[in-house]
Chain A
């Protein structure tokens, strides 16, 4: 088994489900925009936007067959919740979790079929 690197494409576990193909494509099409929102929220210390984004990805990514993204988003949400009124400085303590989520999203984009 090879260890996934940032360059290993992450494919949806539902890629073979004809009902889901279109939805998975749609999710991937919108993913770059979500990544932009994520980056901006981190840069500006917009905790609420970050929390909402993590919350929504936690709930939805699994539904599109991207369980690892859902799990990473869930971990980030938990960290954000635990820190309460997280400040910009506290955000840096979550840098690892944020980077994990970003990497997984980027790998999912690499796995796009078209």
Chain B
């Protein structure tokens, strides 16, 4: 799944089974083999938690009575961790007391299946949980996508920027953020009408998507502003990518106003490694560069390395 083109998860959902009984894993592999899903197996709670965190599955089937860590403790930890809390969990248990069922649902399980299970029943319950999970995912992804351009929206940027910033600080990876603003956008709207303005927004979004790599994150920041998060990319490299976008936008011919070209200004703040700059100051630095690009004549890229304070001004087109 690429990050700049939001998509639904893989075609075959992965289901993680956490059960200490090798028999259960074997039986499920055979009984669910026609379900078009990928089964992962963990034989105890800690291994299951690690697997769920490492590569979050679409659904977890969780046994309760396991040596070491009880299933309820596994469930509690799954629901505590932001990375795993949204994964639906079906509890499998040989104990069908009402107390256990209530406790399981209270802890956040979506379903409870008694052991020994009737496989036809388990199959339909797995299907139902996966269907629900897919709908939930669709809804939450809708809420993160900008309707007009299909890029990620501001809320998604805010969340992911914090994550990428934390990663950069922790591991010392390079990271850049680039703010894009369409020059004189209001004039396009006023002169050619809002449909023409929308077409420009969609066109710039398309160019951003084309120039992005899989790991880059293209978002609509608001109005006629876009933002790119570029992991493992220093300010110089980010400036080269931004320059390609700037050039492509400048060259584009717009069907509704073929003689009226559109340009964009770009402000970039990047770091080649860990930095003391806060995540807010970082975006502010990019915004200051965008403002400077606008003030100095538009249609240009200005980039700063926040660790060094070096500003690179790339060429303004003729």
Contact = CB atoms under 8 A, between A and B. Distances in A.
B258 to A, nearest CB: 64
Interface string A19-61: 1100100110000000000000000000000001001101111
Given A19-B30, A23-B30, A70-B116, A60 B67 contact: no
A59 B94 contact: yes
B97 to A, nearest CB: 11
Given A27-B23, A64-B23, A64-B27, A59 B67 contact: no
A46 B65 CA distance: 18
B23 A58 contact: no
B65 A60 contact: no
B87 interface: no
Contacts of B295: none
Given A23-B27, A26-B26, A55-B65, A63 B94 contact: no
A109 to B, nearest CB: 17
The winner among A61, A62, A63 for most chain B CB atoms within 10 A is: A63
Nearest to B27: A63
The winner among A19, A20, A59, A61 for most chain B CB atoms within 10 A is: A59
A2 to B, nearest CB: 27
A60 B27 contact: yes
A63 B65 contact: no
B214 interface: no
The winner among A19, A60, A67 for most chain B CB atoms within 10 A is: A60
The winner among B26, B27, B116, B117 for most chain A CB atoms within 10 A is: B116
A61 B116 contact: yes
A23 B33 CA distance: 14
A63 B67 contact: no
Main secondary structure of the interface of B (DSSP, over half): loop
Contacts, number: 44
B192 interface: no
B307 interface: no
A67 B30 CA distance: 18
A48 to B, nearest CB: 9
Contact of B115 (A19, A23, A58, A64): A58
A78 to B, nearest CB: 10
Contact of B23 (A52, A59, A67, A77): A59
B24 interface: yes
A74 B94 CA distance: 9
Interface in B92-114: 94
Nearest to B92: A59
A4 B27 CA distance: 28
Contacts of B33: 19
Contacts of B117: 63
The winner among A20, A52, A55, A58 for most chain B CB atoms within 10 A is: A55
Interface of B: 20-21, 23-24, 26-27, 30-31, 33, 65, 67, 94, 115-117, 119
